[in-house]
Each structure stands twice: as structure tokens, then as C-alpha cells.
Amino acid sequence: MPGWKDLLIEIEKIEKEYGSSLRNPVSNTEIIRLKQCIQQRLGNITLPVSYIEFLKTVNGLDFDGLVIYGVDKFLLDREIDEEIDGIIETNEIWYENDWQKQYLFFGDSDIAWYCYDLDQNVFLELDKPSGNLIQSFASFESMLEEALQTVL
């Protein structure tokens, strides 16, 4: 099975065909800001190393109905024109429903949420909007690979 970086290269090729490109990676300073802000606004949450690696490759993704959240615009060093679904602000929206506070959401599609269950310490794909389990994953990486494969 190809890794998420290989799948991202395929997505980048498709984006180029349509005159678009992937977002720029984030800096170490922006990552530090993100980690601090998550602690302040969402609680004692540690981001997976592989998610940070993803952000250092591309600041989120919005491709063919799949959205992987990036670093929120207010934490970036530079102004950007495009819309970004930031991980902090998007999780705050999902947290308006109490039952969703047990998850850290990393992305979504038309039919699924990709998240981490803070109580069970497992990565999950949940049905949207019922919250029923579709499948679980051992790592953020394997969850991301599955999500990317669904849109290719």
C-alpha cells in the first residue's frame, strides 16, 4: 500500500492539471504556536508526530470532498488568500455537541469524520453525522492513507 506521501504526490499531479497546487508547509514556529493554542483552547492534547509531519509537508488539504485540517489562519506567520479549515477552530465547532468532545477531529468528508478517540486512544473513521464507527486505525498515518485513497 502506498504511503500518504506517495498519495499526496498523486493528488498534487491532479491539482496541477487543473491549474492548482497544494498548500505550503507550515514552519516550526507555526507548529509550536499550534501546540500551545491547542493546550489553551482544547485541553491537554498531544498531536501525533505523523500529523505534524503532514503539516510540515502541506498545511491541510481540501481535495474532492476530503478535508484534512491544517494550522488555523490566525496562527500563521503570513497572510494567505485561501480558506483553511484549521484544526482548532473546526474542533471547537464540532465540540458544540457534547458527545463529540471525546474526539480530536483531524478531517472530514461528505460521509465521514477522521478523528482520535481521546478516551480509547485509537484513531477512527466515524459515520457523519451519526457518529457510528466505520473503522479504526493503529495510527494517524494509516488513517490518513485510507482517507487519501478514498479520493483517488
Distance CA 44, CA 24 (A): 28
Burial class (CB in 10 A: 0-12, 13-18, 19+), 77: exposed
Q: State pLDDT tens for residues 85-115.
A: 999 999 999 999 999 999 999 999 999 999 9
Domain limits, the chain: 4-151
Burial class (CB in 10 A: 0-12, 13-18, 19+), 57: middle
Q: Is 0.75 topped by the overall pTM?
A: yes
Continuous segment of H or E residues that includes residue 137: strand 133-137
Distance CA 30, CA 50 (A): 16
Q: State pLDDT tens for residues 3-42.
A: 999 999 999 999 999 999 999 999 999 999 999 999 999 9
Q: Which CATH number fits domain 4-151: 1.10.300.10, 1.20.1250.20, 3.40.1580.10, 3.40.50.300?
A: 3.40.1580.10
Distance CA 21, CA 143 (A): 23
- Per residue in 36-47, is it b (16+ CB within 10 Å) or e — as a string? ebbeeebeeeeb
